[in-house]
Each structure stands twice: as structure tokens, then as C-alpha cells.
């Protein structure tokens, strides 16, 4: 999944507020090369994409879709948002192909 170069961070409190104010256009669940899942947000009022990060500015990741869906349901109840799932592509050997800049591992 390719994104433009304007990638921003968003913390949970901001996302909750944007959801309440109907400012979220779309949520995309992206599988990173680490096979963990990240939340990417598109807003109605600003171009670019936003990665959900912790208060310590580390990208939030979930090991399974079950826990991520539970997180979404608990924190964003009754909000009819479009959610898209983007899995990391695998090559013919079962290895993960190179991913876009949004899914690159930042574990340094």
C-alpha cells in the first residue's frame, strides 16, 4: 500500500476527539513487515495519513487482529467508520515482500 510522503502521527486522545467530531474519513489496518498490525487514519479536513502512536511517540502495534478489533470496539463504540484491512504481501516463497514506507519497521 503506497502513501504520499505526508505521513503524520496522531495520539489516541486526538483520534477519539476526531471520531467524536466526525472528522475521520477512514481507518486502515495495515500489516507491518513484523506481521503486527498498525492503524492508519485519513481525516476529512487534512491531506495525508496519520499513524496512531503512543504518548511516547512509538507506533502502536497489535500482534493479532482479534486484539486490534477489541481495541477499536472498546474505544470507538457505535461509530460507523469505514475500516480497510491491508495485509502485507508475500512472495512465492512465503516471505514478506518489500512494503511501503508506512509499514517499514521503526524498531531502532
Residue 64 clears pLDDT 90, i.e. is over it: yes
Helix, strand, coil content of the chain in percent (nearest 5): 20, 30, 50
Per-residue burial over 4-17, b if 16 or more Cβ lie within 10 Å, else e, is: eeeeeebeeebbee
Kindly state whether residue 102 falls inside one of the protein's structural domains. Answer: no
pLDDT digits (tens, 9 = 90+) for 28-57: 999 888 889 999 999 998 888 899 999 898
| Residue 29 CB neighbours (<10 A) | 18
Q: Which one of 65-74, 85-94, 99-108 scores highest in mean pLDDT?
A: 65-74
Domain that holds residue 82: 7-86
CATH number at residue 28: 3.30.720.210
Residue 44 included in any domain: yes
- Mean pLDDT confidence for 96-103: 45
| 108 lies in some domain | no
In a domain, 95, yes or no: no
Mean pLDDT of 76-102: 61
Mean pLDDT of the chain: 78
In a domain, 50, yes or no: yes
Q: In the chain, how many domains are there?
A: 1
Amino acid at each position: 500500500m503506497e502513501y504520499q510522503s505526508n505521513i503524520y502521527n496522531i495520539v489516541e486522545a486526538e483520534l477519539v476527539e476526531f471520531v467524536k467530531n466526525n472528522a475521520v474519513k477512514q481507518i486502515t489496518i495495515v500489516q507491518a513487515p513484523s506481521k503486527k498490525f498498525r492503524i492508519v487514519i485519513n481525516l476529512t479536513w487534512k491531506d495525508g495519513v496519520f499513524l496512531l502512536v503512543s504518548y511516547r511517540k512509538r507506533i502502536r502495534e497489535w500482534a493479532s487482529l482479534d486484539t486490534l478489533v477489541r481495541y477499536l470496539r472498546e474505544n470507538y463504540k457505535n461509530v460507523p467508520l469505514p475500516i480497510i484491512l491491508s495485509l502485507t504481501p508475500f512472495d512465492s516463497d512465503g516471505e514478506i515482500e518489500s512494503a511501503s514506507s508506512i509499514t517499514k519497521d521503526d524498531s531502532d
